[in-house]
Amino acid sequence: MYEFFFNYSPAVYNESEFILANTWPLWLLYFLAITFIAGCILTLVWKRKVLNLFQLASIGGLQALMIGLVLFVLWQPALVTERLVGGENAVAILLDSSASMALAENGQSRMAQAQNLISEEGLEDLANSYDILPYAFAEETVELTNFSELPNPGDTSNIGQSIVQALRTASNTSLGALILISDGADNSGNIDAATLSEIASYGVPIHAVGIGRETIPEDLELTNIQLPQSALPGTTLAAGVSIIHDQGGLTRVKVYNGDELISTEEIELSAEQNLTTAFIDVEVSDPGELDLRFTLDPITGESNLANNSRAQVVDVPDGSYRILYIEGEPRWEYKFLQRAMDEDPSVQLSTLLRVTPNKFYRQGIDDPLQLEEGFPIERAELFSYDALIIGSVELAEFNEQQQQMIHDFVSERGGSLMMLAGLNGLGLGGWNESVVSEVLPASLVEEDAAFVRQQAKVVPSPSGLASPILLLSDSPSENLELWNNLPNIADYQNIGPLRPAATTLLEIDVDGELQPLLVTQPYGRGQSYIMATGGTWRWQMSMPLEDMSHETFWRQLARGLVANSPLPFELSTTVENEEIRVRAQVRDPDAEENQGLAVAAVVSSDYGPAMTLELLPSSTQPGVFEASFNPADTGLFSIEAISRVGDTPISSTRSAIRYEQNQEAFAIRQNRGLLEGLATATGGQYWQAEDWDDLPEAISYSTAGITEQDVRYLWDAPIIFILLILLKTAEWLLRRRWRTI
């Protein structure tokens, strides 16, 4: 219908430049328009005794439009378009042949839908004007003779690099456009800015044809599991489970450790959003490896069950983390904190209690020489700890070198620092004047830093209730009740305004106003905390003997301090593009004992013999050693890395990862956003499969290949003659009504 009235399709108008093809000068057009309109006005003036002003304006306006339209036609309006020259250009067709294209929808696979488009009949219009260059891709691009024989479905897909490979291969032809036929599922982490920039640099428009449904109500997908790679024995992990869905309802998540069912949770899926994240508690008991699998119960009509399950391995190291606690006075908080930590085998608390100036009482040490000189004066000694607690100790106790070491302990070492309130602590101890204050989650102020000996009610914040540090019970309601029933603390200290990145976990109610008590923030590689009280010991003294709230809180807080502390020698594993990448990191590569270090890893699996990998130093990251390997089959891979200097072993660490070849079972909904982004960035368009017949015309307006100028005249468009008739008819009807003819 549009083409009947305007001669050409909307695409022609969008791609063309409007011109007046007549060579007559424009000044003549303006002169004639003014002359004829002036004549109409003079003619109407003679009728002023018969017609009122509104009637004169109406007839005059219609006559002016009529004159303007006639002059417009005389100057020959036209559209000028750059179009590809038929028979001189090529069009590349890049077909997604990954496993996700084999998924069936409405009784037909996605690949069958795509093949219907690129059949001999479907390509007829394109083949009449262009050379067709057929390609298929999964992880890499494969050049085809035709689309009758396709490669086997690939286990992964990398759209960005596949497009680049196709463009490089076709770069010796006059390529007018590239047609991408895909569901948009990309296992490479989507297309990064560098790849997109390289694609756009070829100047070839990409027309993306989306295959598959954007919403699949009968499918659930377990898209992500948020868990740390390692955990301490005896802790409870909050596993974040993210589920993609297109309708509301209920589902159940089951958690297995190997073949043992260890947890189950019912999750309500919101009907107002398509992503629901819930947290499931996973108990960590003994050292070793947790080979976890999370599985969703299927919903009615669900056929693709492969995306209902994900596995993740959590390393549970056999050993203890070390915390150094320095206190300036023998107070109750020091005593009860020590008692709380005594029964935790995963955390070793070493303490320095100042008894006289320059003299400390040491506890929790491994040998008589440890901390013999008091607080460490060497970086290596301080950095051997995983967390540092500073109590009621004034800044003057530490020299400038030690203050800088504390700062670097958090920012570079990645340790945690917690400062406790006290008569000589925080702002009262002058810490606001130190480089250490940069690390803390609050800007310490000396003027209002009073240590108030007044009881106050402790109130957990919403962020605190979501933190495992404040988990006194697995039941949220019971947990809140336990916190509400705790006795008041004995004292508190004002700490100053919080930093932008600070999170408040606990607050206190002071005369009806809440102020922060336990706050934290990330800093550099580590984390810092302020506990603005020295009076939590009342939770132990004022509660029944069997109540473990005080011990549980401090043990969980201590574990929170050390949980993310980097080890001296760490190993991590990831899966990227069907490879398992192994990455070892030495915490302090500049240390004398780490010079000339080499790293090897022994990989063992459920099948086949063990193999040895030599990890190579990273060229960009000091202290990082990397290697990768292609697993022969799916399964659990245990990896032990050993560092050495020459033939002398220095240290060892281990990790584990489960490898599964089902990436194409995930992200099965059409990723229209990715396809549209590709098309927009390259000057192409996004198309749905049913609009395939409109593609040839859109491609013809590409400027990437050999083009010619095409002029299309508009003077004979039916809409112009219809407008002329309507204008003259409207004028005649008005004149008849007003009896002027």
- 3-state SS, 419-431, equals EECCCCCHHHHCH
Q: What confidence score (pLDDT) does residue 297 get?
A: 92
- Taking the C-alpha atoms of residue 329 and residue 325, their distance in angstroms, rounded to an integer, is 12
Same domain, 344 and 428: yes
* Dihedral sign from CA coordinates of 325, 328, 329, 332: negative
Closest residue by Cα to residue 16 from 673, 584, 609, 700: 700
**At 62, which amino acid appears?**
L
Same domain, 351 and 475: yes
560-577 as b/e: b if 16+ CB within 10 A: bbbbbbbbbbbbbbebee
Enumerate the β-bridge partners of residue 614: 600
Domain count, the chain: 5
Same domain, 29 and 150: no
Domain of 618? Answer: 569-663
Extract the tokens encoding 384.
């051997």
* H-assigned helices in 398-449: 400-411
- Taking the C-alpha atoms of residue 518 and residue 540, their distance in angstroms, rounded to an integer, is 18
Same domain, 684 and 594: no
Beta-sheet strand order (sheet of 221-226): 221-226, 236-244, 275-283
**At 708, which amino acid appears?**
E
- Taking the C-alpha atoms of residue 704 and residue 397, their distance in angstroms, rounded to an integer, is 72
Same domain, 449 and 360: yes
- Taking the C-alpha atoms of residue 741 and residue 734, their distance in angstroms, rounded to an integer, is 10
The single residue listed with the structure tokens 């799916």 is: 634
List all residues 6 or more positions away from 400 whose beta carbon is below 8 Å from its beta carbon. Answer: none
Same domain, 90 and 79: no
Same domain, 293 and 331: no
- Taking the C-alpha atoms of residue 35 and residue 37, their distance in angstroms, rounded to an integer, is 6
Q: Domain of 132: which CATH number?
A: 3.40.50.410
Residue 306: how many CA atoms within 13 Å on its side-chain side? 13
- Last residue of some domain: 266, 300, 317? 317
- Taking the C-alpha atoms of residue 715 and residue 72, their distance in angstroms, rounded to an integer, is 8
- Taking the C-alpha atoms of residue 422 and residue 443, their distance in angstroms, rounded to an integer, is 17
Q: What is the pLDDT of residues 668-680, one digit of tens each?
A: 899 999 999 999 9
Q: Domain of 463: which CATH number?
A: 3.40.50.880
Q: Domain of 590: which CATH number?
A: 2.60.40.10
**φ/ψ (deg, to 5) at 134:** -85, 135
Residue 308: how many CA atoms within 13 Å on its side-chain side? 16
- Taking the C-alpha atoms of residue 450 and residue 495, their distance in angstroms, rounded to an integer, is 9
* H-assigned helices in 491-591: 538-541, 549-562
Q: What confidence score (pLDDT) does residue 718 get?
A: 85
List all residues 6 or more positions away from 169 whose beta carbon is below 8 Å from its beta carbon. Answer: 135, 141, 143
Enumerate the β-bridge partners of residue 489: 456
Enumerate the β-bridge partners of residue 241: 225, 278
- Taking the C-alpha atoms of residue 113 and residue 254, their distance in angstroms, rounded to an integer, is 36
Report residues of the chain scoring pLDDT below 70: 15, 19, 46-50, 189-190, 446, 592-593, 709-711, 740-741
Q: What is the DSSP letter of 323?
A: E
How many beta carbons lie within 10 A of that of residue 60, not counting itself? 18
Q: What confidence score (pLDDT) does residue 169 get?
A: 92
Same domain, 273 and 232: yes
Q: What confidence score (pLDDT) does residue 199 get?
A: 92
Same domain, 394 and 380: yes
Q: Measured between alpha carbons, how far is residue 545 from residues 251, 457, 548, 550 in Å? A: 42, 21, 8, 11
- Last residue of some domain: 562, 581, 599? 562
Contact present, 237 and 225 (Cβ < 8 Å) = no
What is the DSSP pairing of strand 130-137 with strand 89-96? parallel
Q: What confidence score (pLDDT) does residue 293 get?
A: 93
Same domain, 188 and 337: no
- Last residue of some domain: 533, 562, 591? 562
Extract the tokens encoding 685.
């368009």
Same domain, 186 and 205: yes
Helix (H, G, I), strand (E, B) or coil at 583: strand
Contact present, 135 and 80 (Cβ < 8 Å) = no
441-470 as b/e: b if 16+ CB within 10 A: bbebeeeebebeeeebebebbeebeebbbb
Same domain, 114 and 256: no
